Amino acid sequence: MAAPDVSRRAVLRAGLRLGILAAPLGLAACVTATDAPLPTKAPPRLSPADAQRYGALEDKGIPIPGVDPDDLAPRNVRQLVQDPTGQQPGTLVVDAKNRFLYLVQENGRALRYGVGVGKEGLEFSGTAAVGYKREWPSWRPTDAMIAREPERYRPWAGGMAGGAQNPLGARALYLFKDGKDTLYRIHGTNEPWTIGEAVSSGCIRMMNQDVIDLYRRVPDGAKVVVVQG
């Protein structure tokens, strides 16, 4: 969940595509962590409405950049689909294999969002609940992260305030199981090009435009099912 500044965006993207960024990161880090190159995406074919939906906006006084069309594969665009989950309306279902999050609706429908998920060995699986939600959440690296990479993480030992550079993005939903924090989150990201990939250290990341939409639809206590297979 390191907080890359804007100037590193192009370098990070290039590193991901070449498969050269592979650092062991903490479970609750929610940062990019992959040792496989990202596939080359076909040119996007987005409707004007979709292009506008993922355009730049301001939220709580904080500017959110528009998603680069080259980073927005059509399959990852928010859309209403037939519900493949069989869960009750109001349930969140994360299909980690296919990189989708479903919010189950009435009448056999579901809202589908593209997501990024944890790389192999760092994923959560099973049933949880939304313990609580936060707008523009703060973030602090774990003690293990600070001990492992002190130069990188010690500056943030006191925490990072929410904002455009915070790796949790515009919103976060905190997943609890049996009343205990799982340390997994559904959250926004300032790396939208990672949506549709298995690159995080366990958390479920969404484009900021999508996590804002999801946040207002989902109450505390909502059921969350994460399926890895």
Per-residue pLDDT of the chain (229 residues; tens, 9 = 90+): 444 444 444 444 544 443 433 333 334 456 655 444 555 555 546 788 888 899 999 999 999 999 998 888 999 999 999 999 999 999 999 999 999 999 999 999 999 999 998 766 556 789 999 999 999 999 887 787 788 789 988 998 999 999 998 989 999 999 999 999 998 999 999 899 999 988 766 689 999 999 999 999 999 999 999 998 7
Sort strands 109-114 and 100-104 into parallel, antiparallel or unpaired. antiparallel
For residue 90, CA distances in Å to 82, 116, 140, 206, 207 come to 15, 21, 30, 18, 20
Q: Which of 30, 146, 203, 226 is catalytic?
A: 203
CB atoms within 10 A of CB 196: 22
Cα-based distances in Å from 200 to 7, 30, 49, 77: 20, 5, 29, 20
Domain ranges of the chain: 6-37+68-227
| pTM summary value | 0.79
Q: Is the CB of residue 146 less than 8 Å from the CB of residue 157?
A: yes
187 catalytically annotated: yes
Q: Which of 34, 187, 196, 214 is catalytic?
A: 187
User: What's domain 6-37+68-227's superfamily in CATH?
Assistant: L,D-transpeptidase catalytic domain-like (2.40.440.10)
